[in-house]
Chain A
Amino acid sequence: MRKTLMTTLIVYAAMGVAVCTVVCSASPKETVVKLAAKKFEFSPAEITVKKGEPVVLEINSEDVKHGFTLPDFGVRADINPGRVNRIAFTPNKAGRFTFACDVFCGGGHEDMSGTLNVTE
């Protein structure tokens, strides 16, 4: 059965048919998580997501420019005020991981961090 499907896909690909449509429709739906950033905290400070499921973070800064870095997944972005900053990634390992502001934003900058909890 598996061989038949693969053969079909290869044939479709060779014919220039949109193979991606078939494959992409099978991928899990993304989870959208809203985060607020302000001096000197993220809210919520802890996020729980599932391993292997795509995540989109929608981060809004309520005051000045901040940064968002999640080094364990190679994720970072500037968080500018006045707009929703979207960051998409898929966590590929379970555990608890630190995210933090990486744009120096004032006296409490070093406390501005949170936890991404990735469950199996």
Chain B
Amino acid sequence: MNKIDRRDFMKLAGLGGVVFASGLGVRALGAGRESEQLRAAKGEFYFVQLSDTHWGFDGASVNPDSQGSLKKAVAAVNSLEEQPDFVVFTGDLTHITEDAKLRRDRLAQFRDIAGSLKAKTIHFMAGEHDASLDRGDAFQELFGKLNYSFDHKGVHFVVIDNVSDPSATVGAAQLKWLQSDLSRVGKDAPLVVLTHRPLFDLYPQWDWTTRDGSAVINALMPYKNVTVFYGHIHQEHHFMTGHIAHHAAKSLMFPLPAPGTVPKRAPVPWDASAPYKGLGFRGVEADLRNARYEIAEMPISKA
């Protein structure tokens, strides 16, 4: 397993690897964009990943605009010149509460805000803050299944739940489902896995792991084109397990320190000189012909 930085990814792409991360921006997010029809003809599409919105969080020293950050991000996505094919929220939609009614209220408020996205299709996923205290009951009432799959323009997307079990396991039943789901897909098919926690042991000391994540990775290993997008760690992070690339997204509420760089995992305090620093969302452009994904990290302050 190897940690890789943005430059390494560019080298990997140059060698015919499966992923290309660029700070220059996804075409659809900036200049030089092409029509949706033309991109479709070239085997390209793009989606937006938002993560760790923590609706309901209250902590002025960490984010004095806790009521506004999500709305700003929604406005930023809506202002994109070309709307994404879909938007995915990779968990921790709401901030933890032990009050079951308040949890439902927060999830409902979140759903209403997300409902103002222009994108026609939105995929929701749970984080441990949404689902660990009630095994995902409230989430399922409002958003549907915790794990599922869907196909989009030739890419098979698999949503894996590694949060509704408080012990952060995927579990035998879901692993069986995953293997059954994958059996319908060719070994060369482009696969994207969406999940909340890292599937590998990023930093177990901070609970940045999935206890049986290696079983998921083993199930994915026979497939040649696999990319994982996840959240949980509130920062951009890129990692390889064999040929499988894992990309963590930023939060829309507060950033967290790089793994193991400080004694305690705690939110990075708000920087008044650089509001919304460390927060953001990403656009992912799929280039199916070349089997790669171009990632553009977008700041929340652009809203």
Contact = CB atoms under 8 A, between A and B. Distances in A.
Interface in B182-232: 201, 204-207, 211
Contact of A104 (B97, B168, B201, B204): B168
A104 B166 CA distance: 5
Nearest to B95: A107
Contacts of A71: 201, 204-205
Interface residues of A, number: 22
Contacts of A106: 96, 98, 133
B265 interface: yes
Interface in A75-120: 78, 97-107, 109-111, 113, 115
A110 B265 contact: yes
A104 B98 contact: no
B101 interface: no
Interface string B95-129: 01110000000000000000000000000000010
A46 to B, nearest CB: 11
A105 B97 CA distance: 11
B174 interface: no
B205 A105 contact: no
A102 B133 CA distance: 14
A110 B97 CA distance: 13
B289 interface: no
Interface residues of B, number: 20
A105 B266 CA distance: 17
A98 B205 contact: yes
A106 B133 CA distance: 7
Interface string A58-81: 000000010101011000001000
A17 B33 CA distance: 81
A102 B264 contact: no
B167 interface: yes
Given A71-B201, A100-B207, A111 B133 contact: no
B98 A113 contact: no
A109 B163 CA distance: 14
A104 B264 contact: no
A46 B201 CA distance: 24
A99 B163 CA distance: 20
A103 B98 contact: no
B264 A103 contact: no
B97 A102 contact: no
Given A71-B201, A106-B133, A100 B206 contact: yes
A102 B207 contact: yes
A102 B168 CA distance: 8
Q: Which 4 A-B pairs have the closest CB atoms?
A: A104-B132, A71-B204, A104-B166, A98-B205
Interface of B: 96-98, 128, 132-133, 163, 166-168, 201, 204-207, 211, 263-266
28 contacts: A67-B167, A69-B204, A71-B201, A71-B204, A72-B205, A78-B167, A98-B206, A99-B205, A100-B205, A100-B207, A101-B207, A102-B167, A103-B166, A103-B167, A104-B133, A104-B166, A104-B167, A104-B168, A106-B133, A107-B96, A107-B98, A109-B96, A109-B207, A110-B206, A110-B265, A113-B205, A113-B264, A115-B263
Given A100-B207, A104-B132, A104-B133, 4 more contacts: A98-B263, A102-B167, A109-B207, A110-B206
